[in-house]
């Protein structure tokens, strides 16, 4: 069977040209034409002279043959010619159609719906399956279609196509080498004449499947990533929610802490202000009056807070004090003795949300205040007692030293007179005894003078005034001119400031420290150097010498009365000089100390606070 024969085998061979579909109309037209022509010929012959009959018959026969020959040709030969022409045209169209089919990128199959036999294929079907055309025409559909493996499945498929008229399906075509590939098949059911066919157009969708698979993998991967990201976001969201919750909790805690801290700061400010009152030179009654006024601002509701102190039957109260049921009280104890109490009241009831009538911190505050008041009252009592005792002691020392000087002068004077008059006239023991009496009286007089000077530091001191320290230094050096020259000493200084001080006592301070540096000398000439430097709110002065130094065990007693490291025979003196220095420095609000190494000299330091014009 050739290609054309295959095409014609499912075409209609008996097509009749449309011109022959109405022959009766054509016969009527031709009969009328012959009748009219014959009538014209008979009229024409009648106009001629009479002719023999046989000539007339001959002319009429010839005319009839001429008139009937086109009709005979039209009805006998022309249909055959037209049929051949139409057949050639059809063959040309079929060849064109066949060419178009073979050039299609899709495989085309024409199948027998009854048997599944392949009736025709295009070139694409052959190349895609690897079979020759003749091989495919001897095969059935389920030989190449893996989705329709047997006759039963083919019948079901045909029934679906017949019912629907058109089916699109995905199949898997099997190549000659046994491999398969995916195809999309468009199957239609066609009836031509008495024959029925299924026409399948199959397109290789391998690339599309790969793309779909890649897309599916990408989608799966994307979905996995989306799930992972969603899980991460969910976790982050939960973490963020937890963080927000924790932050809110922390903010609330910080708010409460800040509020509590503010309250504690108010309480500390109250205690600090009370502590400052203790440092001021005011009476106990004034301190208690001011303390009462400091209490309400330290409480949570200062506008409704009032307070009072009862001390030794005296009352110190705020201007708005009124005793209410919302109160707290704490006793003031001095040396285990109840001397009064502090009472704090609210003028109206506090909000119900607060704990108790007073917060725990407020209860602690009133206890702290009364404890501090008790210690302050005790300290002021002791201070007052100590001041009184010191005043009495100083008065006693002054009176004693002043009144003792006259008898000592008499003893010393008469003893010296006795020594001058009877020296050498009595025995040696008498001379020694007289010398002892004179020496003891002299030393006693010096001690009384030094003790008098010590007592006068606190009682005879002058008010502080601007003092040029260099001028005070020069005066002290001038006072020591004799001792400096006798010992070939060098006394130098750095630039020294002006301070608020008692100039007389500052001269005495430098004089005592410089004379000590010269007195406790080594064999080499003494050298004493004075310097000063400012450190924050005080001046630090130093007096450095190159003397014999101070033994470490003597540092604890260095500034005490009548304390000596060496005997009077080695180094003369009463042992009061450094005690006077310490008292002068303390009167000026400073400190004094020494640094020394035995055999390598000493450095005495003292501080004077910066006051008034120096600031």
Cβ pair 311, 340 in contact under 8 A: yes
Determine the pLDDT at residue 7.
39
Q: Is 552 left (phi over 0), alpha (psi -120 to 50) or beta?
A: alpha
Task: Supply angle C-alpha 437, 441, 446, rounded to 5.
Answer: 150
d(CA 223, CA 126): 41
**Residue 303 in tokens:** 């506008």
Where does residue 1 rank: exposed (0-12), middle (13-18), buried (19+ CB within 10 A)?
A: exposed
Determine the pLDDT at residue 538.
92
In whole angstroms, what separates CA 392 from the centre of its chain?
A: 68
Please list the alpha-helical segments (H only) found in 151-205.
151-164
Series of mean pLDDT values for 10-residue runs along the chain (615 residues) = 40 44 61 72 71 71 66 58 69 68 83 90 89 90 86 86 89 91 91 87 89 88 87 86 86 79 79 80 84 86 90 89 88 86 86 63 84 84 76 66 66 74 72 71 64 59 85 91 89 92 88 86 88 92 88 68 52 68 88 85 91 58
Cβ contacts of 59-66, under 8 Å, gap ≥ 24: 63/37, 63/38, 64/34, 64/38
Determine the pLDDT at residue 542.
94
Q: What is the 3-state secondary structure (H, E, C) of 10-63?
A: CCCCCCCCHHHHCHHHHHHHHHHHHHHHHHHHHHHHHHCCCCCHHHHHHHHHHH
Cβ neighbors of 588 (< 8 A, separation 6 or more) are: 464, 501, 502, 505, 608, 609
Reported residue count of the chain is 615
Q: Helix 428-459 crosses helix 577-587 at what angle (to 10 degrees)?
A: 0
Q: In 10 A of CB 362, how many CB atoms?
A: 20
Cβ pair 107, 121 in contact under 8 A: yes
Determine the pLDDT at residue 1.
38
Cβ neighbors of 97 (< 8 A, separation 6 or more) are: none
Question: How many CA atoms lie less than 13 Å away from 264 in the CB half-sphere?
Answer: 7
Cβ pair 328, 363 in contact under 8 A: yes
């Amino acid at each position: 069977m050739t290609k054309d024969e295959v095409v014609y085998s499912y075409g209609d061979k008996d097509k009749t040209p449309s011109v022959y579909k109405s022959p009766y109309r054509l016969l009527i037209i031709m009969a009328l034409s012959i009748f009219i022509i014959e009538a014209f010929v008979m009229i024409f012959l009648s106009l001629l002279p009479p002719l023999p009959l046989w000539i007339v018959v001959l002319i009429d026969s010839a005319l009839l043959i001429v008139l009937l020959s086109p009709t005979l040709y039209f009805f006998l030969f022309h249909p055959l010619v037209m049929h051949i022409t139409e057949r050639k045209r059809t063959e040309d169209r079929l060849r064109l159609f066949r060419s178009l089919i073979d050039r299609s990128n899709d495989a085309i199959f024409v199948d027998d719906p009854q048997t599944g036999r392949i009736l025709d294929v295009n070139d694409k079907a052959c190349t895609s399956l690897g079979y020759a055309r003749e091989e495919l025409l001897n095969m059935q559909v389920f030989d190449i279609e893996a989705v329709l493996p047997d006759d039963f499945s083919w019948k079901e498929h045909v029934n679906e196509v017949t019912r629907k008229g058109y089916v699109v399906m995905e199949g898997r075509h099997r190549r000659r080498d046994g491999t398969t590939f995916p195809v999309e098949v468009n199957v239609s059911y066609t009836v031509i004449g008495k024959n029925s066919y299924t026409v399948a157009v199959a397109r290789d969708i391998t690339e599309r499947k790969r793309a779909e698979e890649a897309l599916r993998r990408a989608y799966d991967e994307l979905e996995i990533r989306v799930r992972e990201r969603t899980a991460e976001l969910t976790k982050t969201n939960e973490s963020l929610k937890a963080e927000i919750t924790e932050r809110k909790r922390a903010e609330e805690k910080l708010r409460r802490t800040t509020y509590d801290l503010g309250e504690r700061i108010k309480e500390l400010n109250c205690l600090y202000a009370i502590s400052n009152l203790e440092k001021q030179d005011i009476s106990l009654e004034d301190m208690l009056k001011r303390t009462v006024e400091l209490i309400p601002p330290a409480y949570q509701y200062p506008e409704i807070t009032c307070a009072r102190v009862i001390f030794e039957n005296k009352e110190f109260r705020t201007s708005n004090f009124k005793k209410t049921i919302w109160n707290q009280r704490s006793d003031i104890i001095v040396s285990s003795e109840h001397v009064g109490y502090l009472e704090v009241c609210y003028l109206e009831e506090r909000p119900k949300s607060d704990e108790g009538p007073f917060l725990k911190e407020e209860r602690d505050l009133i206890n702290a205040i009364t404890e501090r008041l008790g210690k302050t009252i005790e300290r002021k009592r002791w201070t007052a007692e100590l001041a009184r005792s010191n005043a009495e002691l100083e008065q006693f020392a002054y009176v004693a030293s002043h009144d003792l000087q006259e008898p000592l002068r008499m003893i010393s004077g008469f003893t010296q007179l006795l020594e001058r008059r009877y020296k050498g006239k009595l025995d040696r023991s008498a001379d020694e005894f007289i010398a002892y009496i004179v020496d003891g009286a002299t030393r006693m007089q010096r001690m009384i003078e030094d003790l008098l000077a010590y007592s006068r530091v606190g009682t005879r001191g002058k008010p502080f005034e601007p003092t040029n320290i260099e001028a005070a230094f020069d005066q002290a050096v001038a006072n020591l001119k004799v001792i400096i020259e006798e010992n070939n000493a060098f006394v130098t200084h750095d630039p020294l400031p002006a301070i608020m001080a008692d100039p007389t006592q500052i001269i005495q301070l430098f004089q005592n420290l410089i004379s000590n540096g010269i007195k406790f000398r080594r064999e080499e000439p003494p050298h004493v150097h004075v310097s000063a430097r400012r450190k924050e709110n005080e001046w630090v002065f130093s007096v450095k010498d190159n003397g014999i130094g101070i033994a470490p065990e003597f540092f604890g007693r260095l500034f005490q009365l009548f304390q000596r490291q060496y005997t009077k025979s080695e180094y003369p003196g009463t042992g009061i000089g450094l005690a006077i220095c310490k008292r002068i420095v303390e009167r000026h609000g400073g400190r004094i100390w020494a640094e020394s190494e035995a055999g390598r000299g000493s450095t005495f330091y003292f501080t004077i606070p910066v006051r008034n014009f120096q600031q």
